[in-house]
Amino acid sequence: MKLVRRLDRKFRETRMFVRAMQSASHPILAQIVPIRRCNLDCSYCNEYDRTSAPVPLETMLGRIDRLADLGATIITLSGGEPTLHPDLDAMIRHIRHRGAIATLITNGLLLTPDRIRALNRSGLDYLQISIDNIAPDDVSKKSLRVLDRKLEWLKQYAQFGVTINSVLGAGVRNPEDAIVVGQRARELGFTSTVGILHDHGGQLQPLAPEQRSVYDRFRRLKTGLFSFAHFDHFQENIGQGLPNDWHCRAGGRFLYICEDGLVHYCSQQRGRPGIPLDRYTVDDIRREAARPKSCAPFCTISCVHQTAMLDQFREQPRETLTGILDRRRAMDPQFRPPAAVRVLSWLFLDQRRREFFGKLVVGALRLKRRATSPP
């Protein structure tokens, strides 16, 4: 069953990638908050409260419908702590029903074997947990010691993909913890990433020399070619306190929808543009994606950078893929691109071939989708 689910995810991700290459007028990723309340109070976090009620299910389903109508290909439930919402599974099922990839960001504390099985039944595609340290302290209780049993249950029962994000930055007392967390995640067969803590505006907090050393070692851990750990190169500048020269597409290719149903650039730039989702249009997507953001040079919000990187691949495929391969070779001089990557280069780095084969792939995927859809 795990293999079947994995193949299904890869098929739908391929459709998402091809569509992202064809059009810039729909969101690639939307994060939506079903509940602001959290069962933790990590000192660095400004994305929770202790009292908010869950957003009613009917309201959430309507917002998911609106995102699907706008063409969102990935819909992520975040918070607060989304596993506190009593109708979480119904929301995940509806995301899948509307054809989007369903992902969940959780602190993991409420995961049990039964809860994991319920997430399997709902059709969850991916789950992400950030683990801040090995042992809990007054900064964060999201520690490996607290969550390791949960990770073992995920290894045993989860039919969805799991990513464990280690954290570096202000407030983390022992930077070496990130390496331990990353190694444990990979030992269990999970994807492992590293994030750099930001301030309450989503802005850069440069790494100290010891933290920078740990970050460099983490990046050298064995991982796949197209892991965001390899083309998350914006973090290299962040770690040194340097700005990044990039164009933020938040409000367009990336949307953040708060519990009140307003669209914001991201979790740290709430209030802009502040338009209700039920009134958000393709014109809004195009306008906000094109708008320069003053916060962009020192932004550390990884998911916003990642959506921008997909657009960069669409706009400059040769330069982007060459950069990915060059960075991989810098970490491993013996690296040779696998055959699939060489084929991808031939198909998509020439504009005429990219347009021709892109149409063929879309047509084939649509035919397969119709053939496998129930009558």
Residues β-bridged to residue 235: none
Pairing of the two strands 29-32 and 74-77: parallel
Residue 149: C-alpha distances to residues 15, 156, 191, 275 (Å):
35, 11, 17, 41
Residue 36: CB partners within 8 Å, gap ≥ 6?
A: 47, 48, 49, 52, 79, 80, 258, 259
Residue 240 C-beta-side C-alpha neighbours within 13 Å: 8
Q: What is the pLDDT along the chain (375 residues), one digit of tens a residue?
A: 778 888 888 778 777 777 777 788 999 999 999 999 999 988 778 888 989 999 999 999 999 999 999 999 999 999 999 999 999 999 999 999 999 999 999 999 999 999 999 999 999 999 999 998 999 888 788 999 999 999 999 999 999 999 999 878 756 788 899 999 999 999 999 999 887 765 555 455 667 788 888 877 877 775 554 454 444 567 677 777 788 889 999 999 999 999 999 999 999 899 999 999 999 999 999 999 999 999 999 888 888 988 988 888 788 777 777 777 777 677 667 767 666 566 666 665 566 665 665 565 555 545 544 444 443
C-alpha 225/C-alpha 240 separation (Å) is 24
The pTM for the full model equals 0.85
Residues β-bridged to residue 102: 75
Is 127 within 8 Å of 154 (Cβ atoms)?
yes
Which pLDDT score is estimated for 375?
A: 39
Pairing of the two strands 262-264 and 273-276: antiparallel
Which pLDDT score is estimated for 310?
A: 83
Which pLDDT score is estimated for 200?
A: 53
Which pLDDT score is estimated for 288?
A: 97
Which pLDDT score is estimated for 209?
A: 81
C-alpha 277/C-alpha 285 separation (Å) is 11
